[in-house]
Amino acid sequence: MHHFDYKNGVLHAEGVDLNAIAREVGTPVYVYSSATLERHYRVFKEAVGEKSHVFYAVKANGNLGVLMTLAKLGAGADTVSEGEIRKALAAGIPASRIVFSGVGKSADELAFAVEAGIYQVNVESEGELEVLSKIAEARGKRQAIVLRLNPEIGAGGHAKITTGGAANKFGVSLGEAERLYIRAANMPGVAIKGLALHIGSQIFDFAALEAAFRRMRALIEKLAAQGLPASRLDFGGGVGVPYEIGYPFDYGTDSLQTYGKMVREVTQGLDLEFGFEPGRVIAGNAGLLLTKVLYLNERADKTFVVVDAAMNDLLRPAMYEAHHEIWPVRQSTGTKRAYDVVGPICESSDTFATARELPELKPDDLVAIMTAGAYGASMSSTYNQRLLVPEVLVKDGEFAITRPRQTFEELLGTDRAPGWLA
């Protein structure tokens, strides 16, 4: 059951020796496990009920191989840009299983979504409602929508990923939701189906989620009493995963049973279509970032281990002070030392771990930065003119490069000299 595990003292991904991937693809490289993705999708789907729609949040990991793996299981997609809609379609997720969220969808993006015939637009403001209705009407269509509610309850692993609070930019306010719902019901280009919310990410406080879900349900019931029955509720994503994992690996799906039970309680007696937008809980523990030790820099009071991955490849520690386990690829029972694990980028925030107890490391050793499958590659950049790292998908002892390492031609080839300097 452990898809990342040591075999003969060497870390493997579904039976593939990580040394072999490093040899063939080089480092740094993201490695994803198909079996983990599949398992998490199934466990989630079972927890929230087989009849529910699971719209995987593409932003967590939009790699084509990852999306195709989930598409094959029947997953839908939660998208936040035209690029994500296109990516989902390219992976074989039909438009009829795509929802489009986000506070700032442009008119062009909305037109693209309407023309593609997507399942649902999660509308976040009155302005967006007006623009969308006009766009759809002009095309002789009525776009199915839900209103994203700001329930004034936020939660999440970090202030920067909390979205449901009154101070956060997301959704329409509780006070305005009823008026906007009625307004939407009278617009020619939209068909209002219900409500949506998403209060934050990396959430273990299911009481906060439950309270928000209850607010959404109360509003749905109030509207139904006025002759505006809803047919859909979208509960967003947000379920947390453990980052401080021990060995053997804990994939963190136990919490899904608790989550599913809570959802069943909150939705008791409602005969509606339910949608969910999980990202991290599907992809987080399905990926690792494989990186190589370049140098040790010994100081009087500490030792820096400089690896070849950097904050541009995995931004989470720098951006959210996020903890990621670091596992040596060669298992060791020897004495441990405290290391600061850092990347090559020219700023001090390029730090993956501080005073981390690890077995003795030396140049050329490989280490795996764990739980990097969600918001890893998808948040990467070319800062310091570093090449985007490759992504590899493993399945049953085989692996495929689902995104090759960017080349210097690609990196330099997109820039253009201004005419007056050419």
Beta strand 29-33 with 391-395: parallel, antiparallel or unpaired?
A: parallel
Does the footprint of ligand LLP cover residue 277 (CB under 6 A)? yes
Choice between 21 and 216, CB closer to ligand LLP:
216
Choice between 154 and 328, CB closer to ligand LLP:
154
* Contact partners, residue 270, CB within 8 Å, separation at least 6: 217, 220, 233
Of the residues 1, 167, 225, 346, only one is catalytic, namely 346
Q: Cα(223)–Cα(262) distance, rounded to whole angstroms?
A: 23
Whether 346 is catalytic: yes
Which long-range contacts (C-beta less than 8 Å, at least 24 apart) are formed by 264-267? 264/49, 265/210, 266/210, 266/213, 266/214, 266/217, 267/213, 267/217, 267/233
Site string for ligand LLP, 145-164 (x = CB under 6 A): ----------------x---
Does the footprint of ligand LLP cover residue 78 (CB under 6 A)? yes
Which residue, 28, 5, 35, is CA-closest to 393? 35
Judged by CB under 6 A, which of 76, 238, 260, 343 binds ligand LLP? 238
The window from 55-63, 172-180, 186-194, 225-233 that contacts ligand LLP (CB under 6 A) reads 55-63
Beta strand 273-276 with 287-298: parallel, antiparallel or unpaired?
A: unpaired
CB of 316 to ligand LLP, least distance (A): 5
DSSP class of residue 200? Answer: B
Pair 110, 101: CB distance under 8 Å = no
Alpha carbon distances (Å) from 51 to 151, 256, 272, 273: 25, 16, 10, 8
Site string for ligand LLP, 307-336 (x = CB under 6 A): ---------x---x----------------
Judged by CB under 6 A, which of 12, 198, 215, 232 binds ligand LLP? 198
Q: Cα(27)–Cα(19) distance, rounded to whole angstroms?
A: 10
The window from 12-20, 82-90, 275-283, 349-357 that contacts ligand LLP (CB under 6 A) reads 275-283
Does the footprint of ligand LLP cover residue 280 (CB under 6 A)? yes
Choice between 209 and 366, CB closer to ligand LLP:
209
CB of 108 to ligand LLP, least distance (A): 20
Pair 101, 127: CB distance under 8 Å = no
Q: What tokens appear for 109 in the block?
A: 């993006």
Judged by CB under 6 A, which of 79, 162, 202, 351 binds ligand LLP? 202
Dmax (CA) for the chain in angstroms is: 73
What length does the chain have?
A: 422
CB of 59 to ligand LLP, least distance (A): 6
The window from 42-50, 53-61, 82-90, 352-360 that contacts ligand LLP (CB under 6 A) reads 53-61
Question: Mapping DSSP to helix (H, G, I), strand (E, B) and coil, where does residue 217 land?
Answer: helix
CB of 12 to ligand LLP, least distance (A): 26
Choice between 109 and 365, CB closer to ligand LLP:
109
The window from 124-132, 230-238, 256-264, 363-371 that contacts ligand LLP (CB under 6 A) reads 230-238
CA-based R_g, the chain, Å: 23
Choice between 320 and 383, CB closer to ligand LLP:
320
Does the footprint of ligand LLP cover residue 371 (CB under 6 A)? no
The window from 34-42, 180-188, 234-242, 395-403 that contacts ligand LLP (CB under 6 A) reads 234-242
DSSP class of residue 96? Answer: G
Alpha carbon distances (Å) from 106 to 109, 128, 130, 142, 174: 5, 9, 12, 18, 24
CB of 95 to ligand LLP, least distance (A): 18
Helix axes 174-185, 206-225, angle to 10 degrees: 40
Count of residues of this chain found to bind ligand LLP when the rule CB under 6 A is applied: 23
Q: Cα(2)–Cα(13) distance, rounded to whole angstroms?
A: 9
Choice between 4 and 170, CB closer to ligand LLP:
170
CB of 393 to ligand LLP, least distance (A): 19
The window from 85-93, 112-120, 128-136, 373-381 that contacts ligand LLP (CB under 6 A) reads 373-381
Q: Which residues bind ligand LLP (CB under 6 A)?
A: 57, 59-60, 78, 101, 161, 198, 201-202, 236-239, 277-281, 316, 320, 374-375, 379
Residues noted as catalytic: 346
